[in-house]
Structure 1
Amino acid sequence: MKKNKSKFIQNIIDIIPGFLVSLIVALISMFIATFIPKLGAASIAIFLGMFVGNVFLNQKVFQKGYKFSETDLLSYSIVLLGATLSISTISEIGFSGVLFIVLQMAITVIGALFIGKKLGFSDNFRYMMASGNAVCGSSAIAATAPVIGANDKEKGISITIVNVTGIVLMFLLPLISQILYNNETTQTSAMIGGILQSVGQVVASGAMVNEHVKDLSTIFKIVRIIFLVVVVFGLGHLKHKSNKEILEEEVEEIEKGKIKIPWYVIGFFITCALFSAHIISDDISVMCKEISNKFEIIALAAIGLRVNVKDLIKQGKAVSLYGLFIGLIQILTAILLIAVLL
């Protein structure tokens, strides 16, 4: 008993240095974001974390705290995120809007997997790029990683590339929408909400157009997030089916559809259902959203702190091409689907 207690205390002590650095980077990012709101605290946190981590704070003493901040806090963020989403939200964009989202996500996943294979990337990296771009960036990657058995390096690089792609598209999509749709609310909102990776990027990009586009594009984005569990389950199923070293009993479970998914993905689904049933009140939902956003920013700071730029540069050209091609597929698919459905 005493041994377990001392081990628990030691774990906390080991976590504190890295957690404090992650927290400080997150707080600085939130402060900077007040002056550059279009960039957003989440994006600033990951890049500031990368700078700080690679220049002078990559010592071993910080690593346990970085991992806690990245893994645990992002897990809690995902669960809390579910408490901000209602299934009834789907009705606000109608059947055609939901169909647009489903097809857009499906083509993004297929395109990401296909292009990644052609470029020679591992299955794990392809699956995380697919989920991150199709659903909700960092949160989707965090939910997918343990299901497919991805390592920290693959997770860190995929999150970085997804965020870089999202930042570029965040500024590009309002310009494309201006040219193609003259900023018409539904079409512009579908373009922004159906493509961008994080909620923060969607809000920032929509706000560059107008308040109505910001609100409706956020709803499009929320509908994508509702499908998080479906995408994670599907990619987990694909990974396990392709794994030739799986034990026979695991194969039997997969055939029965019993794929184990992380507790926080289940938690996300439960909190979403509770909010939809009005068991979670609007006031609590607002609180959950605030806490979820703060946890995500701290987690992104930690992810940045753990990303090794040398590893990123090694992958450089191919990874950049991967992000570029996925972005192009998303834009072209959105233009086609908007023309047909909206």
Structure 2
Amino acid sequence: MASFSDLRTRTRTLFPGLLLAVTIAAAAKFLSEHYAAPVMLFALLIGMAFNFMADENSTGKGVVFASKTLLRTGIVLLGARITLGDIAGIGASGLVTVASLMALTIGFGFICARLFSRGWRFAVLTGGAVAICGASAALALAAIIPHNDKTERNVLFTVVAVTTLSTIAMIIYPVLSALGGLTDAQSGFLIGATVHDVAQVVGAGYSISTEAGDMATIVKLLRVTLLPAVLIILALALARRESGFSQVRLPLFVVGFGAVTLANSFGLIPAALAALLVDASSWLLVIAIAALGVRTNMKAMLDLGWRHVAVIVLETVFLLALAWVAVSTGLAGV
């Protein structure tokens, strides 16, 4: 067990970098609330402006701690916003449709990555982020896949890309729904099943009507609810690839995420506490994104090229096309 002296020394080592990440996160929150733009994007951009502090002795370790440990903690607490009961309002057909859309989109990500000579890690990150829940899914998936020298910049690119595409979708998808003659329920399902980030789903859905907003939110929460299942499947697949099922060990944060989700589903977490945990999760994820931004070299990001953009744009369009077919043919049950 670490002594008090060791703990104090570690705290002093981590504090400057943590303070930097927290300050950036607070600035991003302020700007997001006052200018109605995605907080994740602000955190990334501001963080990237402080890249020169990533390798400083005084801040480097704290920034790494924020980008890894705080990230995993935030993902665990994210389970407090999810309950299995959220699925009930959609029904069996809606559940099957949403799960199928997610699986097909992730699979399509591997095809796109191969077409544009990108690696399987990038396929997992972008396909999962597009299919599930944007930046949060990208961060959760990145915590599981084996890292290499391109992982961090791929994660940052994915977060920037899905946040940007979500903002564009928030504006365009309601217009497309109206032009396509979709009902409010159909429009809500389409938005909830396709827009990447929760905030943009809410904004797009309620810009149409209350019914559309409610449907969009429920469908989006269903996608988030399926995140632990995707994480477990990925962890098992990677473990089997490395050493066989006898050595399968789920990451602790995945187990924690699932445990919190189940506890919340069965009412073991009081509503007031769940709200606090969700707020804490939101802050931790923004702080982690800010730290990742600090660790990101802009030149390395620009060196990624147009193929990265092509992959994630095609995945987004593919998901939209599938969801449109599902709602227009009645497969979604709305």
Same-fold call, TM cutoff 0.5: yes
Separation in 2 of the partners of 1:205 and 1:57? 37
Deviation for aligned residue 1:154: 3.5
**Residues 334/200 of structure 1: CA separation in 2 closer, same or farther (3 Å cut):** same
Q: Is the 1:136–1:198 contact (alpha carbons within 8 Å) kept by the matching residues of 2?
A: yes
Separation in 2 of the partners of 1:205 and 1:140? 20
Aligned to 1:133: 130
Q: Which runs of 5 or more structure 2 residues have no equivalent in the other structure?
A: none
Q: Is the 1:233–1:259 contact (alpha carbons within 8 Å) kept by the matching residues of 2?
A: no
**Residues 269/240 of structure 1: CA separation in 2 closer, same or farther (3 Å cut):** closer
Q: Is the 2:44–2:290 contact (alpha carbons within 8 Å) kept by the matching residues of 1?
A: yes
Deviation for aligned residue 1:222: 0.9
1:12 aligns with 2:11: yes
The aligned runs of 1:110-259 (5 Å cut-off) are 110-150=107-147, 151-181=151-181, 184-240=183-239, 243=241, 246=242, 250-253=243-246, 259=248
Alignment-mate amino acid for residue 264 of structure 1? F
Aligned to 1:63: 60
- Please report the RMSD computed on the Cα atoms of aligned residues, expressed in angstroms: 2.2
Separation in 1 of the partners of 2:27 and 2:265? 35
Separation in 1 of the partners of 2:232 and 2:258? 12
Deviates more, 1:325-334 or 1:226-235: 226-235
Separation in 2 of the partners of 1:152 and 1:93? 36
Alignment-mate amino acid for residue 21 of structure 1? L
Q: Is the 2:116–2:307 contact (alpha carbons within 8 Å) kept by the matching residues of 1?
A: yes
Q: Which runs of 5 or more structure 1 residues have no equivalent in the other structure?
A: none
Q: Is the 2:173–2:191 contact (alpha carbons within 8 Å) kept by the matching residues of 1?
A: yes
Deviates more, 1:268-277 or 1:156-165: 156-165
The aligned runs of 1:323-342 (5 Å cut-off) are 323-340=312-329, 341=331, 342=334
Deviation for aligned residue 1:58: 4.0
With structure 2 as the length reference, what TM-score do the two structures score? 0.89
> What is the identity percentage for the equivalent residue pairs of Structure 1 and Structure 2?
24
Any idea what the Cα deviations from partners look like across 1:103-131, whole Å, max 9, x if unmatched? 11011111111101211111212111122
Q: Could you say what secondary structure the match of 1:76 adopts?
A: helix
Alignment-mate amino acid for residue 173 of structure 2? L
Any idea what the Cα deviations from partners look like across 1:34-77, whole Å, max 9, x if unmatched? 2222x232332223322x234x5444243322222222222222
Separation in 2 of the partners of 1:131 and 1:311? 23
Q: Is the 2:47–2:290 contact (alpha carbons within 8 Å) kept by the matching residues of 1?
A: yes
